[in-house]
Amino acid sequence: MAQQITVCLINGDGVGKEVIPAAAQVLEALKIGITFTQAEAGWECFQQRGNALPEETKAAILAADGTLFGATSSPSTKVAGYSSPVLGMRKAFDLYANVRPTLSIPGGVQGIDLLIVRENTEGMYAGRERVEDGGATAIAERVITVKASERIVRYAFEAARKRDKRKNVTIVHKANVLKETDGLFRSCALKVAAEFPDVTYDELLVDACAMWLVKDPTRFDVIVTTNLFGDILSDEAAGLIGGLGVAPSANVGSTKAAYFEPVHGSAPDIAGKDIANPVGAILSAAMLLDHVGQTEAARRVEAAVFAALAAGIRTRDLDGEATTEEMVRAVVERM
């Protein structure tokens, strides 16, 4: 009997409403009997319901084998009662690994195939911020723990072991300045590295890593780092292969709950115009398929995306003319 797979779709805000239905169309075209559920989260959801991540949405995520999420429009200033559903999901389900592959696409710079594994639960995004001196000073606390550091580095080494590339992990930190926090991350990383004799590793300071990503991205296999550094480096890496529109990501942890999202945000500047690139969302759906063990289906989706891009069908962000709808059709036709 075929495996029963339930995928929860959460469009969220802005272009999420276009790219998630697009990815769902591709999943549907696989004809492997996926059951879809729908749930709400994000800024619009907050405005309508007073909660950016309602309990029933969390229940839907838990009930599914994987969740596809679009994006949220988080305001840059504090809004009473609002907190990002992205951070909420990571916290609620302890999704400690943010996994972002960067693979050369047809027509762009070739030879890039790297994976950034970013710690997803602490660091600069631990949510410990406060204001002192009546507003004259703002302080953020950076939290690094042995537990979170060891498990994220272990995830990275296991990922490197599974890849058919060089099987190398680059440990990225700034321990020369952040002696306590990144000193702890680094010592945890070196300890875990010793458990993997079949995987090589090296170390880079984050600023040097940013430079090397631009100068020679082909030298990297797996990069593991703390939350904020990973956030920045992975957007930089996306820029190497054509931008945010094509970059996928996974948020996974120790339980069954996991969600997959394009790296980009809600892109209000292009939302509602049928010009958003659905490739990041579609490749995120492929990561979901891998997560549920549908590796053959995942490869089919990726191959169809690459074939469509190679045929010159591209959205505007890749200097093409295709609409979102046309891009999806081109992918579906090639499956």
Contact set with Mg ion (CB under 5 A): 231
- In whole angstroms, give the CA distance from residue 238 to residue 248: 9
Among 22, 267, 288, 322, binds ligand NAI (CB under 6 A): 267
Cβ–Cβ under 8 Å, residues 124 and 142: yes
The three-state secondary structure class of 95 is coil
* Contacting range for ligand NAI; rule: CB under 6 A; set: 150-158, 173-181, 261-269, 306-314: 261-269
If binding is defined by CB under 6 A, does position 156 make contact with ligand NAI?
no
What is d(CA 138, CA 140) in angstroms, rounded to the nearest whole number?
A: 7
Q: Report the relative pairing of strands 200-205 and 168-173 from DSSP bridges.
A: parallel
Q: Does 72 bind ligand NAI (CB under 6 A)?
A: yes
Give the contacts of 271 (CB within 8 A, at least 6 positions apart): 13, 14, 15, 17, 18
Q: Which is nearer to ligand NAI, 122 or 221 (CB)?
A: 122
| Residue 176 burial (CB count, 10 A) | 11
**Which residue in the set 89, 270, 298, 328 belongs to the binding site for ligand NAI (CB under 6 A)?**
270
- Binding span for ligand NAI by CB under 6 A among 51-59, 189-197, 214-222, 270-278: 270-278
Q: For ligand NAI, which stretch binds (CB under 6 A), given 130-138, 147-155, 202-210, 259-267?
A: 259-267
221 is catalytic: no
Q: Residue 33 is encoded by which pair of tokens?
A: 């009997």
Q: Which stretch binds ligand NAI (CB under 6 A): 119-127, 133-141, 196-204, 274-282?
A: 274-282
Alpha helices (runs of H) in the chain, residue ranges in sequence order: 16-29, 43-49, 55-63, 85-92, 146-162, 181-193, 206-215, 227-240, 279-291, 295-310, 324-333
Q: Does 67 bind ligand NAI (CB under 6 A)?
A: no
What is the token pair recorded at 291?
């997560």
- Cα dihedral 149, 152, 156, 158, rounded to 10, equals 110
| Interaction of residue 264 with ligand NAI, rule CB under 6 A | yes
Catalytic (active site) residue 319: no
- Residue 163 identity: R
Annotated active-site residue 207? The verdict is yes
Residue from 178, 205, 244, 307 touching ligand NAI (CB under 6 A): that is 244
- Judge whether 231 counts as a catalytic residue: yes
Catalytic residue, candidates 235, 256, 274, 290: 235
**Cα 56 from Cα 59, distance rounded (Å):** 5
CB-wise, 192 or 270, nearer to Mg ion? 270
As given in the structure block, the two tokens for residue 98 are 């943010």
The residue within the footprint of ligand NAI, chosen from 101, 242, 245, 248 (CB under 6 A), is 245
- Examine the residue annotation and report whether 174 is marked as an active-site residue of this protein: yes
Q: Which of 147, 162, 202, 207 is catalytic?
A: 207
Catalytic residues: 125, 174, 207, 231, 235
Q: Which residues bind ligand NAI (CB under 6 A)?
A: 15, 19, 71-74, 86, 244-245, 261, 264-270, 276-277, 280, 317
